[in-house]
Amino acid sequence: MGSFFSSDSTPERPSTSSEPSSVLTFHSSPRWQLHFNSVKETSQLMVIDFSASWCGPCKFMEPVLNDMAAKFTEVQFVKLDVDELP
């Protein structure tokens, strides 16, 4: 019996949308802090994906996150690279 997560042969899912992703990304801590603090003052739901360029499961989840962002437009989706923004 194997584990679903232990397989290296799982193909990456292509994104079902041809439109640009609505997932926000930040490459500087000050900009991220400013954005986070402004959203914190509202009642808007925010989903934060902490990822890294070298992380296989993170790459696998990227199209899923993009699909969710396209489906749930009232929710704000943010992707943060843990190596860029420690």
Q: Which residues are catalytic?
A: 55, 58
Please give the Cα distance from 60 to 56 (Å, whole number): 6
Helix (H) or strand (E) holding 24: strand 24-25
The whole-angstrom distance between residue 12's C-alpha and the CA centroid of its chain comes to: 15
* Token pair for 56: 């296989």
* Token pair for 77: 């989706």
